[in-house]
Homo-oligomer: A and B are copies of this chain.
């Protein structure tokens, strides 16, 4: 039911500046139930926004977007598609950047990422690109037209969002084990 894949943590990040989703690198982060204390997205609950159109804006709802992770491979692909040198995890507001997983954004919901400290994250699914990081990338490359292209190019390369399943420390350089959840297609068909 689970397949194990090794991944390397290339960097860990937090967003601590009021009014900005841009993250800054740290040597390590402590994760608790709810996310990374002090980070913009920390909390077991959050206020509903544009990503939750079924709720009135500002409604208190469970926070399934506690931690966001991107992959080095997909950031490089987005940079290539945008014809720029790099797309940095900070510009995307990512909390982690990992390396070593093909099509990381497509990691099946229910997969777990387990770190050496025992900390573990539960994959809640793909993060959907929105315009805001496109504007940040644009500001880094003012001579190019990027902002409008970002959403399309980053689709299915924007990484995943996670819930903290087990508290602990996540460090730059950690070797994480991804327990990749594979849905077994074994449904017995009805005969009539």
Residues of A within 8 A of B (CB): 1-2, 33, 44-45, 52-55, 59-62, 64, 77, 80-81, 109-110, 112, 114, 120, 122, 124-126, 128, 152-153, 155-157, 163-166, 177, 179, 183-188, 190
Contact = CB atoms under 8 A, between A and B. Distances in A.
A186 B125 contact: no
A114 B164 CA distance: 24
A41 to B, nearest CB: 15
Contacts of A59: 166
A64 B165 CA distance: 9
Contact of A62 (B81, B155, B164): B164
Contacts of A110: 64, 109, 124-125
A2 B54 contact: yes
Contacts of A190: 77, 80-81
